[in-house]
């Protein structure tokens, strides 16, 4: 006996309310193990694999690749406890059940079966079956043991219940239901290229059995003959309502807006692009920001980096040195390592520095976060920047690696620009921008010389501090850039 359980898109955390299906990892009829990844989805934070907490046979999938689903929407259904032996015995048990007429089963739709799915889902959550782990933590696996729960014995579903649930699933990409119960039958047909919609089942109410598929395979045809021993009909048999593929209605033409012009392209604001748009809009609406900037002579900082890398060991990235300078500056000016609780009208100063850095990837702008940056050395910061940058490019950053920042570095100098007034990464209070480092004429020790000059800008939330604090922070950063020995005083 099998129970058909529904697995819904789980809560993705961090305020995420929807996800886009990128790639299905299983097909209808596949046998899945507990906690096996079944679908790859893209959220506004990252691309993750979603594991299914049930073990059994996949009986239905909801949503095509590219479809965006809200949290709580059905992803797939799994027949828990289904086996080949149970499938083979299903037709023999059919006389003891009271199946619905064929026309009734053919009319079942996912919308009409929603109460049944909800009931199955409630039953799954109430029972602690061995085929379900109860863990659905997205992005981090589901290996952690589930909480101990009472084991409740429930009456198994009848064969007619399983048939009703499984008969809804389209096969081979068709539009209507097919009268087939056994996953083994579906798999056998799929492996041999047999279209189940073209078969007339010999089982009760037109149920397609394994022998029907095997007969079609041996005869090399897609239409099976009447079952042996079945009375010959006086007239041509009327096909099942579900056996003919439904003709999809032609899409209605979309009326062009009066302002539409040839060549205009519309790009949906969703996924990473949509999340960035929402966050920047909220930042502009809520944060009264201001920007100050200063030019600094980075010649000595570059020389110090060259000397450090020449000494051997791990290479030190330039952004790691700026990060080290920032954490020292935040220790002197903790107002900028804070957030504003608007509801309580309070400024919340944070003890740890979780340093975000803007990274441009093929999927858009992402801001990975280096945890506890204030406690890391330059070598440790370099390694973590490199790891997170590579993860961002490959799309494997987890939601936890993209959230929780308290201050952000924005190295827009890599794009060949000198300065910028960036939008603060809400709900943080400040962002340091680093322009390109270029040779410029500079007065050094009373003489005009060519020096390596960088423009630094600080965008800050004017609610957390005044211009004096922001200027003091930026001046300290510039002093450390011009004379790295200044940093030694804070170590």
Same domain for 314 and 184: no
Q: How far apart are CA 119 and CA 108, in angstroms?
A: 16
Structural domain includes residue 334: yes
Structural domain includes residue 195: yes
Per-residue DSSP letters for 155-218?
PPPPHHHHHHHHTTS-STT-SS------HHHHHHHHHTT--GGG----SGGG---HHHHHHHHH
- DSSP-based three-state secondary structure for 1: coil
Residue 450, φ and ψ in degrees, nearest 5: -90, 120
| Active centre residues (catalytic) | 462
Same domain for 276 and 215: no
Q: Are 427 and 280 in contact (CB under 8 A)?
A: no
Computed from CA positions of residues 303, 306, 312, 313, in that sequence, does the dihedral angle turn out positive or negative?
Answer: positive
- Domain of 377, CATH number, reads 3.30.559.10
Q: Is the peptide bond before 164 cis (omega within 30 degrees of 0)?
A: no
Burial state string for 264-291 with b = 16 or more CB within 10 A and e = fewer than 16: eeeeeeebbeebbeebbeebeeebebeb
Same domain for 282 and 192: no
Same domain for 334 and 189: no
**Angle, vertex CA 101, rays to CA 97 and CA 107, nearest 5:** 120
Same domain for 300 and 368: yes
Q: How far apart are CA 383 and CA 369, in angstroms?
A: 13
Show pLDDT as tens, one digit a residue, over the chain (491 residues): 678 889 988 876 655 677 888 889 999 999 999 889 999 888 766 777 889 988 899 999 998 888 888 888 898 999 987 554 344 334 434 333 333 333 333 333 444 444 444 444 444 444 444 445 555 544 434 444 444 444 444 444 444 444 444 444 444 444 455 666 555 677 778 778 888 878 888 776 677 887 888 888 877 744 444 444 444 444 444 454 444 445 555 555 555 555 567 888 888 887 777 877 888 899 999 999 999 999 999 999 999 999 999 988 889 999 999 999 999 999 999 999 999 999 999 999 999 999 999 888 877 778 999 999 999 999 999 999 999 999 988 888 888 898 999 999 999 998 899 988 889 999 999 999 999 999 999 999 999 999 999 999 999 999 999 999 999 999 999 999 999 988 876 65
Report which of 199, 187, 283 is spatially closest to residue 244, judged by C-alpha positions.
Answer: 199
The residue among 179, 199, 219 that closes a domain is 219
Same domain for 190 and 276: no
Structural domain includes residue 263: no
Which residue matches tokens 């893209």? Answer: 42
Count CB neighbours of 424 within 10 A.
Answer: 21
Same domain for 458 and 365: yes
| Structural domain for 30, as ranges | 3-139+152-219
Token pair for 113: 């079966």
Q: How far apart are CA 245 and CA 228, in angstroms?
A: 26
Structural domain includes residue 267: no
Same domain for 443 and 324: yes
- DSSP-based three-state secondary structure for 35: coil
Token pair for 397: 């950053």
Question: How many domains does the chain divide into?
Answer: 2
Same domain for 278 and 159: no
Same domain for 351 and 203: no
Structural domain includes residue 259: no
């Amino acid at each position: 006996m099998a129970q058909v359980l529904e697995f819904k898109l789980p809560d993705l955390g961090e305020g995420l309310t929807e996800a886009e299906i990128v790639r299905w990892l299983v097909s209808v009829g596949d046998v899945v193990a507990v906690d096996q990844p079944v679908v790859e989805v893209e959220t506004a934070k990252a691309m993750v694999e979603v594991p299914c907490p049930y073990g059994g046979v996949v009986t239905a999938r909801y949503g095509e690749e590219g479809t965006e689903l809200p949290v709580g929407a059905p992803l797939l259904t799994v027949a828990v406890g289904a086996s080949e032996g149970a499938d083979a015995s299903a037709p023999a048990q059919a006389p003891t059940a009271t199946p619905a007429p064929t026309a009734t089963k053919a009319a079942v739709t996912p919308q009409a079966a929603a109460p049944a799915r909800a009931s199955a889902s409630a039953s799954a959550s109430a029972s602690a079956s061995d085929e379900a782990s109860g863990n659905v933590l997205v992005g981090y696996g589901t290996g952690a043991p589930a909480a101990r729960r009472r084991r409740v014995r429930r009456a198994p579903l009848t064969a007619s219940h399983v048939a009703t649930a499984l008969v809804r699933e389209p096969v081979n990409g068709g539009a209507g239901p097919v009268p087939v119960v056994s996953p083994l039958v579906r798999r056998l047909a799929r492996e041999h290229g047999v279209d189940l919609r073209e078969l007339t089942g010999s089982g009760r109410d037109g149920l397609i059995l394994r022998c029907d598929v095997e007969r079609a395979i041996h005869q090399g045809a897609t239409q099976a003959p009447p079952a042996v021993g079945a009375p010959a009909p006086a007239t041509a048999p009327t096909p099942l309502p579900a056996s003919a593929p439904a003709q999809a209605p032609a899409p209605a033409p979309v009326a062009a807006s009066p302002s539409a012009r040839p060549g205009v392209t519309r790009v949906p604001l969703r996924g990473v692009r949509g999340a960035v748009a929402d966050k920047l809009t909220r930042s502009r609406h809520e944060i009264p920001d201001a920007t100050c900037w200063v030019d600094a002579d980075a010649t000595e900082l570059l020389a110090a980096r060259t000397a450090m890398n020449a000494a051997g060991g791990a290479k030190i990235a330039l952004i790691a040195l700026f990060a080290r300078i920032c954490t020292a500056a935040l220790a002197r000016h903790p107002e900028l390592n804070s957030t504003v609780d608007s509801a309580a009208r309070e400024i919340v100063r944070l003890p740890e520095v979780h340093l975000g850095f803007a990274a441009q990837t093929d999927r858009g702008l992402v801001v990975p976060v280096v945890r506890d940056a204030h406690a890391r050395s330059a070598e440790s910061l370099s390694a973590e920047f490199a790891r997170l940058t590579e993860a961002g490019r490959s799309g494997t950053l987890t939601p936890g690696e993209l959230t929780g920042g308290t201050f952000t570095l924005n190295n827009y100098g890599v794009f060949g620009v000198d300065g910028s007034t960036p939008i603060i990464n809400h709900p943080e209070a400040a962002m340091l921008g680093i322009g390109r480092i270029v040779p410029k004429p500079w007065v050094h020790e009373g003489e005009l010389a060519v020096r390596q000059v960088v423009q630094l800008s600080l965008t800050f939330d004017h609610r957390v501090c005044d211009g004096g604090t922001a200027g003091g922070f930026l001046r300290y950063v510039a002093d450390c850039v011009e004379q790295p020995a200044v940093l030694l005083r804070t170590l």
